[in-house]
Structure 1
Amino acid sequence: MCRIAAYLGEPCRLDRFLTEPAHSIARQAWDAREMGDATVNADGWGTGWFDESGQPAAYRNTLPIWSDANVDALGRSLYAHTWVTNVRSATPGLGTDYANTQPFISDEVLFVHNGFVDRFAHTLRARVSVALEPAMLAEINGSTDSEYLFALFRQQTGSLADRLRAMHDQVVAWIPELGDDVRALLNFIVTDGTQLAAIRNAVNAPAPSLYLNRDWSGGAVIASEAFDQSSDWTPMPHNEVVELDHPVSPRNAA
């Protein structure tokens, strides 16, 4: 399990999003309140944004966020209208290394996954690998279920919401073939800097927590745990793709 968060809205300095809130995503690395399978997120962290030309960029580190000496300098130096952040608790058997650290990035999007597929290497990986085009499979650098599902997402067509729904539904369709004891926790956020799509769901287990705040400091935030006690934070619905546009105008996409 991990904790994830994303922001889309007016330009925002990184520390305003990353570290300043009372229960920020950085604090959730060591003080998570709604995690089921771990107590801390000490296996690395990363944050992604889009530069002035609209190209995605990311900073990732295998250190826990509280041990990374770069956090303060990055926080006070970087501004962006989109932030996507992950603090990682590695699934047993999936190594703590740079290639396995989110957010994952392609030529057009940033992607984070909070969850896992039980015993991925022995259950779902073969099915995903067969479904992927050879060129897409060859671009996978790490061993996580998350990166394989990112590759499956990238292979879909349509809007961000369409692609996320198609990837998610394919995974959900595969899980029953693997056995009644195989859990899949499927919280995803993906953005191209103009739109953002997210889904909260699980198979054979409770879905991880995920919240939406439509009115947070000039934008909208989706996060594993609410940043504060404001009543503006609402739990994400199960198995519905929520789509945000920039300028922010949230809507649900079936």
Structure 2
Amino acid sequence: MCRHLAYLGPPRTLAELLTDPPHGLCEQSFEPRCQEHGRVNADGFGFGWWDGDEGPYRYRRAVPIWSDANLAELAPRVRSGAALGTVRDATTGSVLDEASVAPFRSGRYLFSHNGVVPNWRLLPEDVDTSLSGSELLDLESLSDSALLWAMIVARIHDGQRVDKAVETVIALVATVRPQARLNLLVMDSGEIVATRLGDSLMCRRGDGWIRIASEPSDDDEGWREVPQRHLVRATATTVEVRALALADELGT
């Protein structure tokens, strides 16, 4: 499993958003409080952000977040009104390198996956990935997350709205891998789409800002739990929460 957090709102430093909070990603890497699967998220970390309309930019490492000596200088100096951070616990069979660390990127979008797809290497034999053989060979990394992201991107390029593309891919995967855990997070500089199917997901709103995260990064009482098998579509000022289209198939 992994932990991730997305933010939209007035510009703040990456340190304020991701590392400085009392239960931020640094602590969640070695002592998560809500994680149901796995105990330590030490297989890498990554940040993604926008500078106004420019970006997204990324900083990714295949080392534990606490061991990166550069982070103390970088995080307090990068400010953004749209950011995504992750700490990774790698899926068995996935490569342990920086290319496998979220956030993944395509065009103006960033992506993170908190979960696991069993037997993910065989997934193209069981569902319509909408990917050609060459596209499968050209995945950014050998991981379930990279495959899920490529499937979503293919549908976005075909004209599907982001939330619908995410929902379609989850439905396909859950049908053939009912034990899959699919907490997905896709964002650009103005919108976040997040799903809960397997592990924890929380949301906290303020005056013109929102955070969506695997677990609270502080003890504020404003955090609210996203229901299991639901999707969140949010901007800095609006939030829509709805059941995933596959909820009835999964027995909820």
Q: TM-score, normalised by structure 1?
A: 0.88
- Asked if 2 retains the 8 angstrom alpha-carbon contact of 1:128 and 1:152, the reply is no
8 Å CA contact 2:91–2:144 kept in 1: the answer is no
State the partner residue of 1:83. 83
Secondary structure at 1:7 match in 2: strand
| 1:188-210 Cα shifts (integer Å, max 9, x gaps) | 11001111100001xxxxx2111
Residue in 1 that maps onto 2:96: 96
Q: Deviations over 1:198-238 (max 9, x none)?
A: 0001xxxxx211111112x8511111111122221111112
Q: Which amino acid aligns with 1:212?
A: C
Q: What SS does structure 2 have at the residue aligned with 1:193?
A: coil
Question: Partners of 1:162 and 1:54 in 2: how far apart?
Answer: 25
1:170 to 169, 172, 178: 172
**How many residues in Structure 1 have an aligned counterpart in Structure 2?**
240
| Pairs within 5 Å for 1:138-153 | 138-153=137-152
**Structure 1 SS opposite 2:151:** helix
In structure 2, what residue type is equivalent to 1:249?
T
Runs (4 or more) in structure 1 with deviation over 4 Å come to none
Cα pair 1:128 1:148 within 8 Å, conserved: no
Spell out, residue by residue over 1:110-149, the C-alpha distance to the aligned partner (whole angstroms, 9 max, x if none). Answer: 000000012322x424335753135643431211101000
Q: What is residue 249 of structure 2 aligned with on the other side?
A: none
2:181 is matched with which residue?
Answer: 185
What is the alpha-carbon root mean square deviation over aligned residues? 1.9
Question: 2: distance between equivalents of 1:11 and 1:127?
Answer: 43
Q: 2-side partners of 1:9 and 1:221: how far apart?
A: 9
Deviates more, 1:50-59 or 1:223-232: 50-59
1:192-207 to structure 2, matched below 5 A, reads: 192-201=188-197, 207=198
Amino acid at match of 1:52: G
Residue number in structure 2 paired with 1:179: none
Residue segments in structure 1 that go unaligned for 5+ positions in a row: 177-182, 202-206
CA distance in 2, matches of 1:85, 1:8: 12
User: How far is 1:4 from its partner?
Assistant: 0.9
| Structure 2 stretches lacking a partner, 5+ long | 244-252
Which TM-score applies when normalising by structure 2? 0.88
8 Å CA contact 2:118, 2:177 repeated in 1: no
- Percent identity, aligned pairs only, is 34
Which residue does the alignment assign to 2:204? 213
DSSP-derived class of the 2:75 partner: helix
1:89-121 Cα distance to aligned partner (Å, 9 max, x none): 112221211121111011120000000012322
Q: CA deviation at 1:253?
A: 4.9
Instruction: Please give the alpha-carbon distance, in whole angstroms, between the structure 2 residues aligned to 1:165 and 1:17.
Output: 27
Provide, for residues 38-65 of structure 1, a one-character-per-residue CA deviation record: whole Å limited to 9, x for no partner: 2111111001012333331111001100
* Counterparts in 2 of 1:33 and 1:125: CA distance versus 1, 3 Å: farther
Residues 158 and 110 of structure 1: CA distance in aligned 2, closer, same or farther (over 3 Å): same
| Structure 2 SS opposite 1:115 | strand
2:71 and 2:233 map into 1 onto residues whose CA distance is 29
- Match of 1:8, as an amino acid? L
Residues 125, 13 of structure 1: alpha-carbon distance in 2 compared, 3 angstrom cutoff: same
In structure 1, the partner of 2:246 is none
Contact 2:93 2:143 in 1 (8 A): no
**Counterpart for residue 240 of structure 1:** 230
- Say which of 233, 239, 244 aligns to 1:250: 239
| Residue 117 (structure 2) aligns with | 117
One-letter amino acid of the structure 1 residue matched with residue 228 of structure 2: H
Read off the aligned partner of 2:148 and give its amino acid letter.
L
* Residue in structure 2 matched with residue 222 of structure 1 by the alignment: 212
Alignment partner, residue 108 of structure 2? 108
Contact 2:30–2:42 (8 Å) recurs in 1:
yes
Q: Cα gap change, 1:33/1:153 in structure 2, threshold over 3 Å: closer, same or farther?
A: same
**Matched position secondary structure for 2:172:** helix
Cα distance per residue 1:65-101 (max 9 Å; x no partner)? 0000111111111011111111011122212111211
CA distance 1:163–1:58, change in 2 (3 Å): same
